[in-house]
Amino acid sequence: MSVYRAKAKDGKFKSPFWQYDFTVAGRRFCGSTGETTRAAAERVERKLKEEARRPRDDTTINGAFGLWWSEKGQRDAKSATTFWRMEILQDLLTDILERDGQPALLSSIKTKHLTEYATRRRLMPDRRQKLPAPATINRELQILRRIMRYAIEAWDAALALPRFTVAIAAEPDPRVRAIPEKTITALRNALREDYRDVFDWLVMVGARAGNAMATDTGRWLRPDDVDLDARVARWRVKSKTPGGRLIEIPLTTAAVVLLANNLGNHPEAVFTYIAKRTYGGRVRGQRYPITYEGFRKAFKRAAESINQRHLRVHDLRHTAGTNVLRATGNLVLAQTLLGHTTIATTRRYSHATSDDLLAGLEKVQKTRGKA
């Protein structure tokens, strides 16, 4: 029913104001528009219908973040990073909403609040006084999108997702840096001796460091993950699959020898180090699992010692993928080794074959010039 004037039994109008009466999603809305003309009353009715159709939810940001963390976030591969990003999101979004006169609810978050978040976040330096990169802000907004989508799907929250693509900034192409063999040798020699085997493993198989060394995710390589008789190693990587997606890598002779030399040193980890002193519950001379953080610090010291401080641990994975692609020219093999779910991700490594092609063309053209 559109707007109308209610009449009494004597035919006179009950009120000078036009009334509205409509239903949205099974819910009836009726009352006075407070307007004395039909055109004005219809404008009021349209506005009321828009408001009635707009999803409403009283889930607070604080409550949603806490519940999502307990149900999902704490199982992220880098849960500490997720938690830190959630803290920034919660504090800054709450401030933005309060300044806009809005309650701190998930349903209060609109596209304009996301763009303001990105603008203000770009001006917030970290502890080292460095401003965040676009990728950092994007990851924070993507966590918010995950939370809001989960609220809709798992908690039946009546939310309308804001347009995240408006606030998410363009990012530079991911960096893929393969370390030259000469530098690999220098890096290895600069590392402490009991870290060299895990270094070799990363270069051999291209595993993520967190799948080889102890981290808070609990996915590092354990003795049960290695089957020397079948010549395979298995581990799980982060995935939507419960427990993670299983990766299985065949072992070369060199890999079998490397693992055989490390198995049996510790019941919970393949790669271990020898404690140089007694401290923090550790005893000098005994072996303990190599942690990712410990290896990262040692790697950075080794890189600085050979004047290559720009190198990262993840570059070892890039090196493994590039080496396979350069040796075989087969993107699918490189994809299988690195555990990429799409060939598009592996295609970033195609610079290897491009470089080799260029070198080959240069050689051909020089040969033709001599003919």
Residues 247-253 have a mean pLDDT of 90
Lowest mean pLDDT among 45-49, 140-144, 209-213, 268-272: 45-49
pLDDT band with cut points at 50, 70 and 90 for residue 264:
very high
Compute the distance between CA of residue 158 and CA of residue 107 in angstroms, rounded to an integer: 8
Return the percent helix, strand and coil in the chain, to nearest 5.
50, 10, 35
Listed ranges 221-235, 236-250, 327-341; the one with the highest mean pLDDT = 221-235
Return d(Cα 144, Cα 164) in angstroms, integer.
Answer: 9
Of the given ranges (92-106, 317-331, 354-368), which has the lowest mean pLDDT? 354-368
Q: Reply yes or no on whether the pLDDT at 230 is more than 80.
A: yes
Residue 371 has pLDDT above 60, yes or no: no
pLDDT of residue 335: 80
- Average pLDDT over all residues of the chain: 86
pLDDT at residue 346, rounded to an integer? 75
Residue 217 binned pLDDT confidence (cut-offs 50, 70, 90):
low
> 259: pLDDT confidence band, cut at 50, 70 and 90?
very high
Q: By C-alpha distance, which of 190, 225, 220 is closest to 202?
A: 220
In the three-class reduction of DSSP (H, G, I as helix; E, B as strand; rest coil), residue 227 is classed as strand
**Cα separation, 46 vs 55, whole angstroms:** 16
pLDDT-based confidence at residue 77 (cuts at 50, 70, 90): low
Band (pLDDT 50/70/90 cuts) for residue 163 is very high
Q: Name which of 102, 107, 99 is nearest 147 in CA terms.
A: 107
Q: Confidence band (pLDDT; 50, 70, 90) for 23?
A: confident
The pLDDT value recorded for residue 56 is: 58
* Confidence category of residue 25, pLDDT binned at 50, 70, 90: low
Q: Is the predicted pLDDT of residue 242 greater than 80, yes or no?
A: no
